[in-house]
Amino acid sequence: MLWFRFAVLIIVTAILQTGLVDIIAVTTANVKPDLLLVLLVFFSVNSSGNVAVITSFTIGFAADIVGPTMGPQIISFGVFGTLLADLNRVVAIRKWPYQSLAIFVIGFLTAALAYFLVFLKPEQAPLNEYTKLLWTPLYSAIIGPFLFLPVELWMRTKRRSVRRF
């Protein structure tokens, strides 16, 4: 794992998530994709066990910094990223329809757990819970597999075989 490239990728994605994703928002409900969710699924599917856990919690921390409340995203991204990495050991998620389905399901589950954790704090109630539960994961699932190739090229996850003479 190239950790410096990973850190740069997370910082750039967090900056894009806070400002430039508003440009591609759709409908009056301001539905926009969650780029950090796409990265969570990418690294959970393409990394080994310990690396997937570390990247899941790191991406969750970045989502907490970007999001309105601090704390629930690191837990939900960490838990479901780890579960997806364990599931990937059994069922390979390599084709783009399965990747889209994984992005949608993980997006729904992380939003539901984060909403539940925020619900436990009575002074902070999240707004647009239906948008976060359904439409954001759906929009992320539509554009997510198209973002896998640039991330794969940046991280160089596919290693070339070296011929020895």
What are the domain boundaries of the chain?
3-22+31-155
CB-count burial class (<10 Å; 0-12, 13-18, 19+) for 87: middle
Handedness of CA 18, 38, 97, 81 (dihedral sign): negative
- pTM as predicted: 0.87
Burial 11-21 (b: 16+ CB within 10 A, else e): eebbeebeeeb
pLDDT profile of the chain (165 residues), mean per 10: 90 91 79 92 90 95 88 93 92 89 94 87 63 85 91 75 54
